Amino acid sequence: MAQKLPPVDAVLVGFGWTAAILGQELTDAGLNVVALERGGWRDTSTDFGVTFAQDELRYYWRRALFQEPSRETLTFRNDASQTALPMRRLGSFLPGTGVGGAGIHWNGQTWRFLPSDFLARTHNTQRYGALPEDMTIQDWGVTYDELEPCYDRFEYLCGIGGKAGNLGGRLVEGGNPFEGARSRDYPNPPMEMVYGPLRFAEAAQKLGLHPFPAPSANMSRAYTNPLGVTLAPCTYCGFCEKFGCGNYSKASPQTTVIPVLMRKDNFEVRTGSEVLRVTLDGSGKRATGVVYVDTQGNEYEQPADLVVLCAYQLHNVRLMLLSGIGKPYDPATGEGVVGKNYAYQIVSGVAAFFDEEIMNPFVGAGALGMAIDDFNGDNFDHGGLGFIGGGYLACWNTGGRPIEFHPTPEGTPRWGAKWKQAMVKNYMHTATVSTHGAVMSHRGNHLDLDPTYRDVYGRPLMRMTFDYTANEHRMSDHLTARAAEIARAMNPREIKISKHGGSYSIVPYQTTHNTGGTIMGSDPTTSVVNRYLQSWDVPNLFVMGAGAFPQNPGYNPTGTVGALTYWAADAIRNQYLKSPGPLVQA
């Protein structure tokens, strides 16, 4: 029997980016707020007080910042004909755990989605005609213009460095000419570029493309955000991706919001608190709070007037299913919504090997690079190509970390003396053109509860059913061919193409960009939450994060996750708190 605690105004499940922002917003509105985080307290540069910020073995290979599959995992299959098996070692994606979540170990690549991305079904149908029957993409229920002020708030919170390409409808040279109109420029200038990205930009420009500095949450200079929190300039150490920043130079919940939030009397975070389910009243139409368990196995019920799911996308979907909120999605009939439209990203790369040019790969940062958007979204004519969607191409210098980075040309043995010789020859002389492609939602790709495997608390594990379709393969082939053209225009000695050729594998790392499952929209029969991320079924429940994406555009998701959080926070503060209940769909 769970011990019942005194009620609070709002309970936040998880304490990463979305919970930190909402905690700040809701406490500013006068609410008493509790955040429940299953992991421990973390600083960005320390792990329980011991500094190992650049320990590659500890943090990447031994997974010190990530979810532990022995405590929390999922089962996976490519399609319904297969038996899903547990993911026993993290691979394709790396959910974080502890205060800050994946916001500690992200790269800092902070994008805005294209205006057409929010109208994916309407836009593509109008331009290209009927879509494949099993492609289940949807409009978001919110537009880019509505979200623009929220994107702006997140970028100024994080001190994003970049170069605007579209200021109020006026194109600006040197920025991204394809982006939606901005109300103002980035708060910081772009990072100082190194040789590889500059060589990429020069080659892209010669091909008639439009290179620009990628937007970065790695500080290009010292910056104090609107909350009064100061971040230091980046030292280009190359330990961003999969690491906490030892210099407080990467935007994270800890370096932007938490220092202010933790000083408030009306906020509390409880670490080591695993939420088991959302509790409902007798009608099933109102959340009464949550039940959680601490590290000693003690169960508690935390009553709250407002419940907000702020955990990682996969965990939010699972909590909805475990709590019986919303109708589970059935791919056989197409009915139901919870777990629908799971999507991911599809990536590839072209390595360019040089003889004389020195790339200094160890001089890096998570979002240090030049990019092009010429082949993203609907920025190019898809007529006759057999696919919709696209992605950006970029040359990143994220850091040539000694264990992970081992570039070798085609035909090099996988081990032994010749492999070592190739490593020595090519480490300093390699640049990679990467593609980052969208994934359109399809009927068979979904999330549900596994009928066989259970966790330590007896709850069914999440089951993921996912594979790339012909649309993704054709699109990725197109992007990879364009990347190869740019790589060849960089005049290397030789190139090496790496791309997906078959079914999706959950084993090798790709991106931590899982989306869908609690999708947003304007129709309760086809979405889990409305345009304000409010549950259609339980109006005092809101669900944050990339689970709201009806499909996954060709960008990293964090910028849009942050924007949607501010969008939902504004609706909660200015509409819901004044008149609790279903929000008016403006």
| Active-site residue set | 513
Which residues on adjacent β-strands are paired with residue 278?
290
One-letter-per-residue 3-state SS of 407-434: CCCCCCCCCCHHHHHHHHHHHHHEEEEE
Among residues 3, 115, 24, 582, the alpha carbon closest in space to that of 379 is found at 115
Which of 393-405 are b and which e, b meaning 16 or more Cβ less than 10 Å from the residue's Cβ? Answer: bbbbbbbbbeeeb
Cα separation, 14 vs 394, in Å, equals: 32
Cα separation, 532 vs 554, in Å, equals: 23
Which helix (H) or strand (E) element contains residue 570? Answer: helix 558-571
In a 13 Å sphere around the CA of 505, the CA atoms on its Cβ side amount to 9
Chain-centroid distance of CA 484 in Å reads 26
Contacts of 148 (CB under 8 A, 6+ apart): 180, 181, 182, 183
Q: Are the C-beta atoms of residues 166 and 186 closer than 8 Å to each other?
A: no
DSSP state for residue 334 in the 8-state scheme: T
Please report which residue ranges of 105-226 form alpha helices under DSSP H.
120-128, 144-158, 195-206
Which of 212-223 are b and which e, b meaning 16 or more Cβ less than 10 Å from the residue's Cβ? Answer: bbbbbbbbbeeb
Chain-centroid distance of CA 140 in Å reads 17
Contacts of 214 (CB under 8 A, 6+ apart): 109, 162, 190, 367, 368, 369, 370, 371, 394, 396
Q: Are the C-beta atoms of residues 533 and 520 closer than 8 Å to each other?
A: yes
Contacts of 412 (CB under 8 A, 6+ apart): 418, 419, 422
Among residues 27, 115, 23, 14, the alpha carbon closest in space to that of 560 is found at 115
Cα separation, 297 vs 396, in Å, equals: 45
Quick one: tokens of 454? 């259970």
Q: How many CB atoms lie within 10 A of CB 503?
A: 10
Q: 299-309 and 8-13: which strand pairing?
A: parallel
Among residues 551, 242, 195, 256, the alpha carbon closest in space to that of 403 is found at 242
Which residues on adjacent β-strands are paired with residue 280?
287
Cα separation, 76 vs 86, in Å, equals: 6
Task: Give the DSSP per-residue string, 302-317.
Answer: EEEEEEEE-S-HHHHH
